[in-house]
Amino acid sequence: MSTIRGCVFDAYGTLFDVHSVTTMCREVTPDALALSATWRAKQLEYTWLRALMGTYEDFWSITDAALRFALKQHNIAIQPQQYTRLLEEYYRLAIYPEVAAALRSLQHYPLAILSNGSPRMIEAVIAHNNLQKVFTQVLSVDAVRTFKPKPEVYELAPTHLRVPKEDLLFVSSNTFDVIGAKAFGFQVAWINRTNATLDNLGWQPDVIIEHLDQLSQVVAL
């Protein structure tokens, strides 16, 4: 890997655990993991479909639509108050255990979040996890009204950080995001927490790690 002059992080699944919603899911179904998995899968699918169709809605609306689908798919009927609490768990997602310390160790670099999330969603989950002072930039796809892996989303990072894309390290746990970022021209680290298989589309990350705190061990930061 060449010189790195800044780090850009995906948010959901990379810094923040989307499946921390299972705690609330258990209040409405004994199969909380299945509900969470369907919710997340459909959430991502809706971003890709809307990006392809050019019919943008923000990530909060997509998260809402995906939850409605997941509940219907699993034949779960809940009260409006339960629904609101469940949806609003996206404001309170937990960070992975190593994230706060790992980010502190990288403070000598400009750090950015680049997320599909709407500004309100990202700001809320950052505040919930006391990370307000960590990031130089918090970038949302709202600025370009489409979703990853569209190149115009990734362009937000070098534009706002004022660092060439080839000098930025992009960090994500999501394989579609890893491939999209590499195709765009970033250096890329894949956090593979689940021993997943990378999609076979011709692009490879520069580094593969299991946890964020391993980043400094494998990359000259």
Assess contact for 47 and 148: CB atoms under 8 A.
yes
The residues annotated with a catalytic role in the active site are 10
Q: What is the CA radius of gyration of the chain?
A: 17
Residue 14 backbone dihedrals phi, psi, to 5 degrees: -105, -55
Q: Rounded distance, CA 54 to CA 62, Å?
A: 14
DSSP H/E element including 94: strand 94-95
Distance from C-alpha of 59 to C-alpha of 71, rounded to nearest angstrom: 18
Cα separation, 171 vs 165, whole angstroms:
13
What is d(CA 190, CA 184) in angstroms, rounded to the nearest whole number? 15
Alpha-carbon distance 149 to 168, whole Å?
17
What pTM did the predictor assign?
0.95
| Both tokens assigned to 7 | 């780090």
Placement of tokens 């000098």 in the chain: 167
pLDDT for 216 equals 80
pLDDT for 219 equals 72
Give me 166's structure tokens: 């080839």
Tell me what pLDDT residue 1 has: 65
With beta carbons less than 8 A apart as the criterion, state whether 13 and 174 touch.
yes
Task: Calculate ∠ Cα 28-117-43, nearest 5°.
Answer: 45
Domain 18-91 part of CATH 1.10.150.240 = yes
| Residues of the chain falling short of pLDDT 70 | 1, 220-221
Domain 6-16+93-218, CATH number (from 3.40.50.1000, 3.30.70.2190, 3.40.50.920, 3.20.20.10):
3.40.50.1000
The structure tokens 């692009």 sit at 203
Residue 144 C-beta-side C-alpha neighbours within 13 Å: 20
Interatomic CA distance for residues 142 and 184, integer angstroms: 19
Provide the residue ranges of all domains of the chain, joining segments of one domain with +: 6-16+93-218, 18-91
- Residue 120 structure tokens: 């309100």
